[in-house]
Chain A
């Protein structure tokens, strides 16, 4: 490497470090303030306290929201993972023409602003005079999550050797058996990974929830409502807890998806 290139690489490294700081620092501010012993989040910080976390654990409203969020995220995860995995397998087995048509079509919800997904559903439920509830929230979240599952599972399917399936079929396995005994075990890392993605996506979603929910609130819509009245320290504690939960799930998903390298060609 020439001296000029060395300087270039150094400049790029410094820039990258700054960008990573830019991405992470605002999140650290939330974590720091969640332990700040002051009613108003302002610098410089005062002493350390855990009282905002206790306040969260004592709030029936927030705990109910946490329960609702978990319920919705779990249902979304089951639905989206099932639909998405089946669709990904179906796409992989269909011809180039079908794929060229269906793949973009099945990814359109990902390319649509969440706000539009939410209000379009609200408008339709209103036309049909349907009662809004956590069920309608699950419907909306599943629409948002399915394309991500298809994307992740499809990536894994590309790496699979089609001869494994052929061999199973040649040995007399029916299509259902090939799916259950051969394909799903091979796809397991990607399926579990995408399930965690669907869960976090739903757990964090605020706009779609806001427009499709009835009287129930999830954790994000509760935070959203609280922010309308100003920043309170409890929001920092709740945000920190949700961040820790989703990041833990995310790292789990990463490990799952990456651990799938064994059967690659």
Chain B
């Protein structure tokens, strides 16, 4: 192409400048503030690690552990539930494929607030789920532990982020070279063996991207645990929000947010490593 470097710079400038000013700079400011202290509702510039040592307190430690545990469970469930769907859409379904894909993507277009709220209606003591269970006679008293528990948070997060797992896995399986499976079958492998030794290993890039797209928002979720978890299922997102809302502890809140981001980054790098298919091409 004849376009040189000079024509690229102005095209990339607006987006890069916007991200620099309103994304990179705020994150950097948060890093700085995380070493400051708050006195009389004012941020005081200094250099201290107290905000970070505070994280080691059992209360915060348990919240951090719970957050990453819930995000991990949500990711694993999304993978187990979503993989067969992606496989069916990519490898078996022909005629209705676009239609079913649209149905799966459709919920993504409704706000995650509305989708979290929907589960309040479904899981409440007078909700759809309890009504159904009582109707078929499984229980005569409404089940109380559906809402305001880890169960509610996990089921809602799987619901909200499941399409993010299905789509990348579908994309990979859709492009899978049929000849590889033919070769495998010609060499005597059963369909089951072919799946475990050819299809599944080759879908690794899609699985890792999908896990990433579920894990990140799940670990950083705030709306769903607030609405569905109740006070006993505190996740790190709610604690961060509290520091920036009610209690004006911006310094500690910044340290919490950076801890969350570091944790997410470590998991993300791990997943990206797993996603690389070796020895191919």
Contacts and interface: CB of A to CB of B under 8 A. Distances in A.
A242 B110 CA distance: 8
Interface string A95-137: 0001000100110110111111101111110110000000000
A204 B23 contact: no
Nearest to B243: A119
B102 A254 contact: yes
Question: Interface SS of chain B: helix, strand, loop or mixed?
Answer: helix
A106 B16 contact: yes
Given A86-B15, A93-B8, A204 B33 contact: no
A111 B268 contact: yes
Given A83-B15, A86-B14, A23 B103 contact: yes
A50 to B, nearest CB: 19
B11 A211 contact: no
B12 A90 contact: yes
Given A113-B216, A120-B27, A123-B244, A223 B110 contact: no
Interface string B247-281: 00010011001001100100010000000000000
A239 B112 CA distance: 11
Contacts of B105: 250, 254
Interface string A193-213: 000000010011111000100
B146 interface: no
Interface stretch (B124-132, B175-183, B196-204): B124-132
Contacts of B117: 30, 223, 227, 231, 235, 239
Contact of A224 (B14, B33, B113): B113
A93 B7 contact: yes
B121 A29 contact: yes
A40 to B, nearest CB: 8
A2 B11 CA distance: 55
B87 interface: yes
Contacts of A121: 22, 26
A243 B26 contact: no
A9 to B, nearest CB: 5
A260 interface: no
- Please indicate which of the listed interface residues A9, A24, A119 has the most CB atoms of chain B within 10 Å of its own CB: A119
Interface string B76-119: 00000110110111001100000010111111111111110111
A242 B128 CA distance: 22
Given A20-B104, A106-B16, A175 B257 contact: no
Question: Interface SS of chain A: helix, strand, loop or mixed?
Answer: helix
A67 interface: no
A5 B14 contact: no
A182 interface: no
A177 to B, nearest CB: 12
Given A22-B159, A166-B1, A231 B103 contact: no
B25 interface: yes
Given A115-B240, A239-B114, A12 B159 contact: no
A83 B18 contact: yes
Given A16-B89, A29-B128, A123-B244, A111 B216 contact: yes
B11 A87 contact: yes
Contact of A227 (B33, B104, B227): B227
Contacts of A27: 107, 110, 114-115, 118
A75 interface: no
Interface string B134-176: 0000000000000000000000000100110000000000000
A180 interface: no
Interface stretch (A58-66, A142-150, A184-192): A142-150
Nearest to B31: A120
B69 interface: no
A89 B13 CA distance: 12
Given A23-B104, A42-B127, A113-B221, A16 B85 contact: yes
Contact of A146 (B15, B26, B250): B15
A12 B92 contact: yes
Contacts of B27: 116, 120
A12 B14 contact: no
Interface of A: 2, 4-5, 8-9, 12-13, 15-16, 19-20, 22-27, 29-30, 33, 40-44, 79, 82-84, 86-87, 89-91, 93-94, 98, 102, 105-106, 108-109, 111-117, 119-124, 126-127, 139-140, 142-143, 146, 150, 162, 165-166, 169, 175, 200, 203-207, 211, 220, 223-224, 227, 231, 235-236, 239, 242-243, 246-247, 249-251, 254
Given A29-B122, A124-B30, A242-B111, 15 more contacts: A23-B106, A24-B103, A43-B126, A82-B14, A86-B14, A106-B19, A112-B220, A120-B23, A124-B26, A126-B250, A127-B43, A205-B111, A227-B120, A227-B227, A239-B114
20 contacts: A16-B84, A16-B85, A19-B85, A22-B159, A23-B163, A25-B122, A41-B121, A86-B15, A87-B14, A90-B9, A90-B12, A94-B5, A105-B19, A115-B220, A124-B30, A175-B7, A204-B113, A207-B222, A211-B244, A242-B114
